[in-house]
Amino acid sequence: MKDRDPFYYILQPDFVLMNRRVYKQTLVARPSYTLEIQRKEWMHMTNNHVQTEPLKDKLEDNLNKIRNELGGSDDIIIREIGFGKDRIAHAAVIYTDGLADTKLITDFILDSQTQGNHAEEIDHATDEDNLLDALKSLALNLGDHKEITDFAGLYSNLLSGNTVLLLDGFARGIAAGTQGWKGRSVSEPVAQSVVRGPQEGFTETLRTNTSMVRRKIKDPNLWLETMQIGKVTKTDVAIMYIKGIVNDKIVEEVRARLGRIDIDGILESGYIEELIQDEAYSPFPTVSNTERPDSVAAELLEGRVAILVDGTPFVLIVPTLFISFFQTAEDYYQRADISTLLRIIRFISLFIAMVGPALYIAITTFHQELLPTQLLISLAAQREGVPFPAFIEALMMEVTFEVLREAGIRMPRPIGQAVSIVGTLVIGQAAVEAGIVSASMVIVVSITAISSFVITGYSMAISIRMIRFVIMGLAAAFGIFGIVVAMIALVLHLCSLRSFGIPFMSPFAPFIPADHKDTIFRFPHWAQSTRPRLINQKNTTRELMSRPTKPEK
């Protein structure tokens, strides 16, 4: 078949507009397409269902259509007014009550009706363009404005908190920025608290979140791109990155994956995370999230991309590495030796949380010779009246603790903490006294549970809890050999994962010595002169000062 122009298939509606799967295959078959062209064409395809009917010349027809399309909703306010000293311009001001700043709009209407500063300019307008320019100048009292020519743009602005100004006799309108809804004020992060460091977290308002990041990075190379995702919710999604530091291929890949999303609604960043992650069936997260502006700023400075979603305080970070889930913002606010010690404790906790119960099961069931004689006699005495094998014993305690943990999270906060503490103490003590489980098993499960809380990434902690049950089953069947096989399979799986093209286990696999300055050990700031090499391929030098020297005596 003779090769055709890349846009040939877009011009053939019978071939592809009704079949997005065929269109997707067409993109794959043409490697000459750039990712930017793919993104624009895909957005054109997914938004094809929106009827972009142009505005009408007659004001009454436009208002009737708005009332019918929006079902005559009570929160859609339409006020018809006249502009100019002689009221020659008949117009309508439309806004959504609760989303727009009502006081600002009221002041604007009163000013226009009391012969505002632009009244004479409106009266002497000779044609349509002059009148629109005059009204744009008047609309500056409301805020930034833009022209709209169709109902799709009108509804998008109206339901986003903007105020729409329509004129009789013109098939164009003006949308002015008047967002003024009530939002949660900036407060301390709930899920990622620190002892030392900024005590502010993101909110549910996108513009507030972007401003908090810009307060940290006052650089013109911090770029922001916004798009709407969700055919029904039309949720604002923004990506932030530092031009000149970020790898451009990663930015293009983020654009491409976001552009391919075709869904009715986005209510939280978790929707985006699940739709853009590299491996859908892996228990390990390949996209991290944070609610701290300082953490986002630090990730941007390393060459990563932040994805902000309107309506949630959790910001996605891509690409992400395995080591990122064991680092906290506080590591960089304390001395290097203290941060290194805390990271070593986290990795020890990771090992305990993953294989602690499994080692207990394997040793007490198959490898009793590994225990000292006195300890073996003590364990045997405790298990003398227990009717279940060690695996069933551990499984019951682990499931019980998971139920109590979930109950403590879902119940009201004052009650949840009491249920978690009292339930654990009462059930554990009663189970030991009843002879259902041994006291040593309660200790092992308790240490394991506490260790799982040390892991800083909540999504990673959940993954470790899931894997723990699998390793327990292998330990019950094959002993320590089963644990070794499970760990080998786990390492192989982790090394096969990628996050937006970056190896998930970097810089361990592939091994990059220069990037180990901020992994298990946290070197001093003056020693970290380079950024991660695989994430950043352009500007890899931080240009830090040289090592501090002692003052002369």
Q: Which of 36-40, 54-58, 482-486, 527-531 has the highest mean pLDDT?
A: 482-486
497 and 361 in a single domain? The answer is yes
Asked if residue 480 has pLDDT above 90, the reply is: yes
The pairing of strands 89-96 and 305-309 is unpaired
311 and 350 in a single domain? The answer is no
Asked if residue 15 has pLDDT above 50, the reply is: no
Give the SS3 label for residue 112. helix
The answer to whether residue 515 sits within a structural domain is no
Asked if residue 342 has pLDDT above 50, the reply is: yes
Residue among 200, 204, 216 nearest 300 (CA): 216
63 and 137 in a single domain? The answer is yes
pLDDT in tens, 432-475: 778 888 888 888 988 998 898 898 888 899 999 999 999 999 99
Distance CA 269, CA 255 (A): 16
Distance CA 129, CA 145 (A): 16
The answer to whether residue 548 sits within a structural domain is no
413 and 491 in a single domain? The answer is yes
**Can you give the residue range of the structural domain that contains 21?**
9-46
Asked if residue 206 has pLDDT above 50, the reply is: yes
What lies within 8 Å, CB to CB, of 497 at 6+ separation is 278, 279, 282, 284, 286, 503, 504, 505
The answer to whether residue 184 sits within a structural domain is no
What lies within 8 Å, CB to CB, of 384 at 6+ separation is none
The answer to whether residue 543 sits within a structural domain is no
Higher pLDDT, 126 or 128: 128
What lies within 8 Å, CB to CB, of 387 at 6+ separation is 435, 436
**Residue 216 — very low, low, confident or very high, per pLDDT cuts 50/70/90?**
very high
Residue 134 burial (10 A CB sphere; 0-12, 13-18, 19+): buried
Q: Which two tokens stand for residue 12?
A: 């053939």
The answer to whether residue 421 sits within a structural domain is yes
Q: 256 near 291, Cβ under 8 Å?
A: no
Asked if residue 88 has pLDDT above 80, the reply is: no
DSSP state of 16: I
442 and 355 in a single domain? The answer is yes
299 and 360 in a single domain? The answer is no
346 and 494 in a single domain? The answer is yes
pLDDT attached to residue 532:
83
The answer to whether residue 269 sits within a structural domain is yes
The H or E element spanning position 358 is helix 336-365
pLDDT attached to residue 189:
85
Q: Would you give the distance in Å from CA 182 to the centre of its chain?
A: 22
Average pLDDT over residues 243-267: 92
The pLDDT > 90 percentage for the chain reads 35
Average pLDDT over residues 32-53: 47
361 and 488 in a single domain? The answer is yes
For tokens 């993101």, the residue is 202
pLDDT in tens, 46-56: 444 445 788 88
Q: 246 near 534, Cβ under 8 Å?
A: no
The answer to whether residue 187 sits within a structural domain is no
Q: 512 near 435, Cβ under 8 Å?
A: no
Question: 156, 176, 196: which is the final residue of a domain?
Answer: 176
249 and 154 in a single domain? The answer is no
pLDDT in tens, 311-335: 999 999 999 999 999 999 889 999 9
For the chain, how many structural domains are there in total? Answer: 4
